[in-house]
Amino acid sequence: MSETSEPNVGAFTLGGPLAVEPAGPVDVPEHEEWPLPNGFAWVFPGEGNRGGIVRPVIMADGFSLGRSKLDVLYHGLEAGGFPFISELRRRGRDVILVGFEERSASILENAETVVAAILRTSAEQLGDARLTVGGFSMGGIVTRYALAKLETQRMDHRTALYFSYDSPHRGASIPVGVQAFSHFIPFPNDFARQMNSPAARQMLWQHYDKDTEKITVAPERAEFLDALERVGTWPRIPRIIGVANGRGDAIGLPDVKPGEVALRIDRIYPGTTFYTQAQGADVTAAYLNRRFPKAERTVATDDFPELDGAPGGTLHTYKILSGAMEKLGGKIDLRHEDVCFVPTVSAVAVRDIGKQDDLYVNVDELAPEESELDDFLCSSTTTAHTAITEELCTWIMDRLPD
């Protein structure tokens, strides 16, 4: 390692199970590829469907950095806990996976890709079966906006069912100390690009601004919520449903207590320490230290709820970060691998996530009409964000239109 610079973090980014590349090549069955504005789609015919699209299910990719890797998405949907695509096709559904040229681009921009996919599907479809449209994580937000926009423009999207899979309808959470660390690295890096991307700014409940060093609602999020309101907030024609990878009984990650050390790094970035989010004023979320150029910083929060251990779909945030630092020669003390990324109350659209009582509300005990969704399901156990499980997938498939 150079005496005058920190080691490069390379291509380190945060991502859920559907963005994890497999160890070897992915065996993807024969499919058609559609070029689309700002993106593309792969079309897999359902069993028994010949000569065209018959019973389409359009599913949009989620958030990450760079161009969608639909082979990786296919693998994540097939080789996890449940073969989702195969089961859809076995039931006679044509699966259309929608990818984006830049997954971290603005949700409004990527919604144009989904609009184009919907219109092409309708144009090529045989028969009059209504569409199912949805997505995973950010993909659920992109498709939500696209359908609502089409309705505002009085264009027939022919969609009977919309679904979201652990989508952050009320916002997502990445520890602000981790966000700050991405910019504390003293050279351009993919991690910082990801944290500062338009889509991240639109989805994160609170965003660390690298220029002001303040923690606020990003202007891009406020603008996106305004844009969503202008198209009616939700599509009104289809039935809207969603699933959460988090539990609905107010039980989160019991081992993640507020105010504890989550990760400490020595040797490189010596003494840099991240803490699990606690309540209160001027609460230390992270202490950052680097040698070249010499700098140190304390990242503090005011009036945050206990986000890291909340009920919700989890992300291997500190496991991924510690793994990258260890490869670069860091001495790692990792106490908590996972934290909540998409709180349950956000995924099923029942509460905002800024208040402790709302974040930890027992969703199972709420009246169904308290959700903005027509119907939803929370996972019976805490699972990783966008983890494909038989429980959640079967529930969605049992609600597909005839």
Sign of CA dihedral 247, 248, 253, 254: negative
Specify the CATH number for the domain of residue 241: 3.40.50.1820
Please check whether residues 186 and 143 belong to one and the same domain.
no
Side-chain half-sphere of 283: how many Cα atoms within 13 Å? 23
Range of the domain at 275: 176-219+252-342
21-59 pLDDT, tens per residue?
Answer: 888 888 899 999 999 999 999 999 999 887 789 999 999
Percent residues over pLDDT 90 in the chain = 88
* CB neighbours of residue 87 within 10 Å: 16
Residue 8 lies in a domain: no
Please check whether residues 78 and 214 belong to one and the same domain.
no
CB 308 within 8 A of CB 262: yes
Please check whether residues 188 and 312 belong to one and the same domain.
yes
Please check whether residues 93 and 76 belong to one and the same domain.
yes
269-325 pLDDT, tens per residue?
Answer: 999 999 999 999 999 999 999 988 999 999 999 999 999 999 999 999 999 999 999
Please check whether residues 159 and 185 belong to one and the same domain.
no
| pLDDT of residue 80 exceeding 90 | no
The torsion angles phi and psi of 40, rounded to 5 degrees, stand at -165, 170
Please check whether residues 132 and 48 belong to one and the same domain.
yes
Q: Return the closest-CA partner of residue 343 out of 335, 354, 329, 332.
A: 354
Please check whether residues 259 and 141 belong to one and the same domain.
no
Residue finishing a domain among 308, 325, 342: 342
Residue 24 lies in a domain: no
207-222 pLDDT, tens per residue?
Answer: 999 999 999 999 999 9
223-262 pLDDT, tens per residue?
Answer: 999 999 999 999 999 999 999 999 999 999 999 999 999 9
How many separate domains does the chain show?
2
Residue 376 lies in a domain: yes
Interhelix angle 176-184/317-327, nearest 10 degrees: 30
pTM of the model: 0.96
Residue 402 lies in a domain: no
Residue finishing a domain among 304, 326, 342: 342
Q: Return the closest-CA partner of residue 208 out of 171, 234, 173.
A: 173
The torsion angles phi and psi of 18, rounded to 5 degrees, stand at -75, -10
Please check whether residues 91 and 166 belong to one and the same domain.
yes
Residue 62 lies in a domain: yes
Alpha-carbon distance values, 253 to 39, 197, 312 (Å): 36, 28, 9
171-219 pLDDT, tens per residue?
Answer: 999 999 999 999 999 888 999 999 999 999 999 999 999 999 999 999 9
CB 46 within 8 A of CB 92: yes
3-state SS of the chain?
A: CCCCCCCCCCCCCCCCHHHCCCCCCCCCCCCEEEEECCEEEEEECCCCCCCCECCEEEEECCCCCCCCCHHHHHHHHHCCCCCHHHHHHHCCCEEEEEEECCCCCCHHHHHHHHHHHHHHHHHHECCCCCEEEEEECHHHHHHHHHHHHHHHCCCCCCEEEEEEECCCCCCECCCHHHHHHHHHCCCCCHHHHHHCCHHHHHHECCEECCCCCCEECCHHHHHHHHHHHHCCCCCCCCEEEEEECCCCCCCCCCCCCCCCEEEEEECCCCCEEEECCCCCCCEEEEEEEECCCCEEEEEEECCCCCCCCCCEEEECHHHHHHHHHHHCCCEEEECCCCEEEEEHHHHCCCCCCCCHHHHCCCHHHCCHHHCCCCEEEECCCCCECCCCCHHHHHHHHCCCCC
Please check whether residues 145 and 48 belong to one and the same domain.
yes
Please check whether residues 201 and 75 belong to one and the same domain.
no
Residue 351 lies in a domain: no
pLDDT of residue 8: 52
Give the separation between CA 22 and CA 76, rounded to whole angstroms.
9
Rg of the chain taking only CA atoms, in angstroms? 21
Please check whether residues 151 and 189 belong to one and the same domain.
no
Please check whether residues 375 and 226 belong to one and the same domain.
yes
Residue 349 lies in a domain: no
Q: How confident is the model at residue 3 (pLDDT cuts 50, 70, 90)?
A: very low
Residue 358 lies in a domain: no
